[in-house]
Structure 1
Amino acid sequence: MYVSQQENECKGVVLDETGETVIGASVLVKGTSNGTITDLDGNFVIQNVKKGDVIVVSYVGYKNVETVWDGTNLRILLKSNAEELDEVVVVGYGVQKKVNLTGAVSSVKGEAFETRPVVDATQGLQGMVPGLNVSNSNSGRPGATGTLSLRGQGNLSGNASPYVLVDGVEMSLSDINPNDIESISVLKDAAACSIYGARAAYGVILVTTKKGQEGKMRANYQGTVGWSTPTVLPDMVNSLDFVKFWNDGVTNAGAGGRAYSAEKIAQLEQYMRDPSSLNPWAELQPGQSLNAAFENSELGLGNTDYFDLHYKNFSFKQSHNLSFSGGNKK
């Protein structure tokens, strides 16, 4: 059955409580990445929408609205989120209510880290702040951490990282214990430069740590236990299959002298049946570097799956945090 394009188009307009059109509101088909934003007149059009799909409309400072599309044009009315506008966020060297704030600021409370089994606050922010990109490309190396990007790639050096201040002191976010964080405020736009200067050109992340409170001494313990496993590992061929590919490549390249000989292939088959029957290092001279034995050449014997050798199927990880806090009037 043929369905015209118009029958799959969801059209509508988004208005605020005063009846004014809302520009730049996000309109999305729930559960999918199919969406758009409203134009200068508050109108929107989404393609490939079916009757019965749920349309979600969101905008900063307003409550999200969900409605079921019945095939007609939609008229969405947004209501202000008074609770969100009354939140207090850190801006520069002080605090301010969101309702009085002109710059783009996102805040994350410390409780958000309690449900995330991470030992690095950088990874804990992943998916928590709109517009904040967390890259964990180097996180597999010992001592390495993720990188943060708020305003995209801003220079040729690739070091466009936000300015991180912890209780007013510049330091790396990965050096902070996630359990010690009270709140995090992320200053996204160029307005932060008016406070911190050029260091804030790529955004600012302000971290406030927990303080002792008046009363009895408090003890807090938090622990996580889990396992990590590789998502995808290459499947390596055995040595005989590698030899066939190698010899085919040598033949195609016209370098016949570098191919595995029939005698070497026979030795390799014997080595794979019984590794103890042959010396895999026989072709190395006394005192010669072992590097030659691991090169892709027609020399040597071996049948090692190095991905299986170096990577475990899973690894155990655990984190334990014990803290004591207290205070008095002084």
Structure 2
Amino acid sequence: MVKKLLSTFFITLLFSSYIQAQALKGRILDTSGSPIIGAYIIHTTSEHHAHTNESGYFVLPEVTKGDSLQISHVGYETQAYIVDNLSKEVTIRLKESAIELGEVIFSQDVNPVSTLSRIDLKTNPVNTSQDILRKVPGLFIGQHAGGGKAEQIFLRGFDIDHGTDINISVDGMPVNMVSHAHGQGYSDLHFIIPETVERIDFDKGPYNADKGNFATAGYVNFQTKRGLDKSSVSVQGGSFNSIRTVGLFNLVNKVNNNAYIAAEYLSSDGPFESSQNFNRLNLMGRYGVTFDDGSDFSLIASHFTSKWDASGQIPVRAVESGQITNFGALDDTEGGYTSRSNIALNHSKMINDRLFIKNNAYFSKYDFELFSNFTFFLEDSVNGDQIRQREDRALFGLESQLTYSNTFSGGDYALQFGVGLRSDDSRGNELAGTKNRDSVRFVTQRGDITEANYYSYVNFDLFINKWRINPGLRVDYFNFLYQDDLTPEYDPKSLNAAVLSPKLNFIYTANEKVQLFLKSGIGFHSNDTRVVLERPNNESILPRGFGVDVGGNFKLMPRLIVNTALWYLRLEQEFVYVGDAGIVEPSGKTGRRGVDLGLRWQASNWLYFDGDFTYSYARSLEDPEGNNFIPLAPRITTTGGLSLEKDGFAGALRARYLQDRPANEDNSVIAEGYTVVDLNASYTFNAITVGFFIENLLDTDWKETQFDTESRIRLADGSLEPSPVSEIHFTPGTPFNFRGFVKFTF
């Protein structure tokens, strides 16, 4: 009898242990089907917890049937969940709620920057692709070609041109174009429809092993929405004959199945005396499905086309003499055309309690043609100096990432391994001299570029008490190939090169209100294939960037969050694009250091304040003191604003300030700074939202982009200047302009 009781006892004990050892697996999504990253799942009895990863997956150990859980995330309603089935993955959807900064907590395995970026996106929604980039604290942009050309980017003491030192991607698909006809790293983000953006993931510095080429000053990855909970149509109209229409149409929104399409059309004459004749069309479709085995697939397809005229960059002397106004032109035949068609496939799966895999593949077909005139009659006193840059590109890539982690089960380490490739095939990459956009005078460059990048990386996260130690290593291998079409024979030139990029980061989470970090790493930016092959022994092939950040995130009050960082970044080679020569010139070693400061404060349930301040000190390391300024490197930038949302009313007042900065190496020419204030407001009743946007509320006279350029112009009487003049050439910033809109949701 005793033996039977003991046997029963041990069997019961073993069975009980087995039940207790089970883990609950699942996904946390919002009502549109998009994954919620960093959602907090807590066992209400034992208080052990888990967080969702970037695909919304979680594993919570030591769960039995009937246990009570609590799921929460800032910006969503907290939800209770009773465990009723441990044999299959669960899907839990959270409803959106008002932002509550008091709910933000710092933890070892959740990046607070991602949380705050989502808050910024919700409290200050964007309605242009330009505004999306401005969501990165400290990042400034400038447009200088009629709205169709990629923006000029400024970040951390860099004039990044169009993308030489920032890695930009959308749903894992790269935006930067290597060996582009208009400049290395050229990043045209206009193919994204702002209303489809769900999340902006970013970091500053070369500290992430999964980010490769161009990720020196930082990276930005935009994630589009998995699905829509409602459909909507909006129409905007206003100053300069501007019209914008957007439609987002929900096709399917089920627990394991989502599909929607989106469309955008934009046209505008612009503020210039010569109409920009600008128009842009964006089409996008996305389909996602989750199978019973946990495999998650999404297919994204999009097409973008844009066409415009431009008045170009004008010299200050032409305006001061009265020859033209701020919005006039010396050559109004500038402009261009571009298009991009994309298809991307993303797959992820939670294989077991410790193993997670993510794969993505993409293909883009891209066309580009741009007409510019930087120097007017400096080189050709008869026909002028207009140039044409164009290319026809096919871009293909894929990546597979495997994460082995016992942090899914409350453990203390995670290992991530990734491998991938990117291949660019640019045909007819050309620089030619033209006149009035209809006649070719000469061809400086024309050829076919093939560039392949094979890479692998490994990340390791070790959690020791309150510490997270993150070493990483990345290796990139490049194959450069160029066939010059201007040579009589077929004689392609090729070169191979590799670069190793180690990283080491420390994050100390003292408690839920204080988190400190020390980040260090090496990144790189590649040079144009044509320049690489011309200088095969030069260190400018894959120059590296060495960076370090030290700072922290602090919750000083329940609704006040401050983040700050001191940083340093040194480049082995700075790149300067020389447009009329069609080359990217290495300009020597450079060093930058500075401070970033950000603040997020929720004054009440309906009033929200944000502010970001950056200071950067940028210098050439190989030039003498006083002649070592880096042209157009920003020094002080500040952005901030007030946002409110209450009883159907929403609005925001925002300002941005860019300080004066050097325009040449000895600081004798200054690019003027500016302060611009914007205002927007809307009111929603039932399914209708009406509102307005005002850009440049104070009607500030400002120069959006500026360059110290030598040029020679034709005067008002038809004669040529007797000699060239070097001075500021600029594109004027948009004056006060108003756009009203109405939106229907159904």
- More relative contact order, 1 or 2 (CA 8 Å, 6+ apart): 1
What is the TM-score when the length of structure 2 is the normalising length? 0.15
Which structure's CA Rg is the greater one? 1
Normalized per residue, which structure has more helix? 1
Higher strand share: 2
TM-score (norm. length: structure 1) = 0.31
